Amino acid sequence: MLEYGKDPPINGKIEVEVVFDKERDRYLVIDLGWDRDCRVYNCFMHLDIKEGKIWIQRNQTDTSIAEELVQRRRSRASSAARSHCPIFLGLM
């Protein structure tokens, strides 16, 4: 998710905010700021972890988050320590 927070929006004085709520297992990427006289607030990515599974609540990117998570899980499957990371438990 941090990768999506690196690219600044094209218009206005807008910042990209990446929110990690580890207590509630809620993760967001938000555009926040001003475009001329208009207030901008857009949550373009929202993931929750519920009962060990990842719920993609919103994905307004060009990337398939589900496919990316599956690929990452496969590439990291050899590491026992990483296989217990909560973000991957829903994909096992």
Per-residue pLDDT reduced to its tens digit, 51-84: 989 999 999 988 888 888 888 777 666 544 444 4
Report, as an integer, the average pLDDT of 6-23: 81
Residues 40 and 14: beta-carbon distance below 8 Å: yes
Dist. CA 67–CA 47, nearest whole Å: 14
Domains along the sequence of the chain with CATH: 13-89 (3.30.310.110)
Q: What is the pLDDT of residue 84?
A: 47
Check whether 31 has a pLDDT greater than 80: yes
Mean pLDDT of the chain: 79
CA separation, residue 18 to residues 1, 51, 73, 81, 84 (Å): 7, 23, 22, 25, 23
Top pLDDT among 74 and 50 is at 50
Quote the pLDDT of residue 69.
Answer: 82
